[in-house]
Structure 1
Amino acid sequence: MALDGSLEPFVQRDQVSKAGETGRKTPDPSRLEATLGHSFADRGLLATALTHMSAEGPRLQSYQRLEFLGDRVLGLGIADMLFRRYPEAAEGDMSRRLADLVRKETCAEVALAWDLGQFMRFGDGEILGGARKNKAILADACEAIIGAVFIDGGYEAARGLIERAFGERLLKPVRPLRDAKTALQEWAQGQGYPTPTYTERGRSGPDHAPLFRVAARINGLVDAEAQGPSKRLAEQAAAEAFLRREGLWSETMESDNG
């Protein structure tokens, strides 16, 4: 059927705008299930866990609620693993290990290992902005997947997924057990300096991928600045920059991993 001349440009534009998403062959979700080691009884949960808020459709059908749940399930699963794996570890040591394993950077690494980005659904603008490789988004989706598995198969299924994905990292933490902010605070107190403070110096980048610049400050010493995709991560980076400048970060790493 011929298109009315007044409608044709709008139809063509709509087809072009969807080409980035619909022109791409949708990966078979069973491939992801094989990677996860979990076959979903409710594939709708998996689809929701892979849907970014920018995708067309109701906002409640995005992964945000599952991410909220998955974050808590991940914390419980990791705590469970640490409790069983290190029966003589002190609470403080387990807490530091837990913080390292549930951090967003670790979740993003797991999502990359799952190749999660290729299965996700975004709005066209997010795709053009490189959302499939955005680590903050991938970390959120990782937690959403864990939440979806928890609902679909219960705690044992979720714990099994967490053990497969995080088990090796449990034995060999990716980063030092003591984070940079804690290390800087302990060093400052030991030297008689006041507690470090953190000041936001600027923000750049689009709303979906902001970049924060933060300064770590200790009265009497020169500030150290760094950037990160969130204020928390920028503060950690600034603290690490401060420690590196003072020649302390490598010593911190060795003492924490010793």
Structure 2
Amino acid sequence: MIGTLPPERAETVFTHSSWAEERASSYERLEFLGDSVLELAVAHELYRRYPDHAEGRLTKIRAHVVSRASCAEVAQELELGKRLGERASGLPGDELERLLENRNILAAVLEAALAALFLEHGFEAIEQSVVSAFSEVIEDAVSGHVDNKTELQEALARLGRAVSYSVLEVDGPPHDRRFLCAAVVDGEQTGMGSGSSKKVAEQEAARQALERLGLAPVSP
């Protein structure tokens, strides 16, 4: 649905405060609103879908689904970083790369996009699209899935370190792809994983990195 936004709304969604003429013309105000739009859509879906879950359990699931890490992941799937990069074409290459790899920025752009869609179409018109975009994240959270990527990122952040991921190899025909990915911590390949999707391979790479670094994952 993001492609349906009028140019003026889309421009605000993909304008970072560092290159906006005024801070209020960046995506930050939309991000503020989009955070609430996302929380309401997810809370409504969880309330409807899981009538037997207690309030505490629903709260934990929602927190995982709307986390910055989850939002950044969905933003990457929707290629919002690419669109942001197109607006920042004047930035030096290394600065642009850091910008597009920043999960907080990707999450903020996603929330800004949700707010813009809400203002343009109303909540009821966009609710199911929001839920659909986060459906895999919701299923992972409900099943108690350990998000190794989030665990690794947060553990490293506490140590003042960072992780990035790279695709080392893609094999197989389109209907049976196998991905080999690496988790790179401070420039060093620390974990490697394979899987039927980039996401699965990165999760395995993160798990290996957690083990190698002695950072025990904690279930959500």
* Residues 5-44 of structure 1, C-alpha deviations (whole Å, 9 max, x = no match): xxxxxxxxxxxxxxxxxxxxxxxxxxxx4xx4x623x331
Report the Cα offset of residue 100 of structure 1: 0.3
Query: Which residue of structure 2 lines up, in the alignment, with residue 235 of structure 1?
Result: none
- Aligned pairs for 1:153-172 (under 5 A) are 153-172=121-140
Matched-pair identity in %: 32
- 1:46-65: per-residue Cα shift (whole Å, max 9, x none)? 22111111224222111000
Deviations 1:41-97 (A, max 9, x none): x33112211111122422211100000000111111110010011011111110110
Distance 1:103 1:213, change over 3 A: closer
Alpha carbons 1:67, 1:140 under 8 Å: kept: yes
| Corresponding residue to 1:133 among 90, 94, 101 | 101
Instruction: Go from structure 1 to structure 2 and tell me whether the alpha carbon gap of 1:64 and 1:127 turns closer, same or farther (over 3 Å shift).
Output: farther
Q: Is the Cα–Cα contact under 8 Å of residues 12 and 27 in structure 2 kept in the other structure?
A: yes
Gaps of 5+ in 1: 1-32, 181-211, 215-224, 230-240
Aligned to 1:96: 60
Segments of structure 2 that go 5 or more residues without pairing to the other structure are: 149-155, 164-209
| TM superposition score normalised by structure 2 | 0.63
With 46-55 and 62-71 compared, the bigger mean Cα shift is at: 46-55
CA contact (8 A) 1:54 1:122 kept: no
TM-score, scaled to structure 1: 0.54
Spell out, residue by residue over 1:115-155, the C-alpha distance to the aligned partner (whole angstroms, 9 max, x if none).
11121123744753112232221111001001111111111
Q: Give the aligned length.
A: 164
Structure 2 counterpart of 1:60, from 7, 24, 32: 24
Deviation at 1:175, TM superposition (A): 9.2
CA distance in 2, matches of 1:109, 1:168: 11
Distance 1:127 1:152 in 2: 34
Q: How far apart, CA to CA, are the structure 1 residues paired with 2:92 and 2:143? A: 30
Residue 77 in structure 1 maps to residue 41 in structure 2? yes
The structure-2 alpha-carbon separation of the partners of 1:127 and 1:136, relative to structure 1 and needing over 3 Å to count, comes to farther
Q: How does 1:134-149 map to 2 (within 5 A)?
A: 134-149=102-117
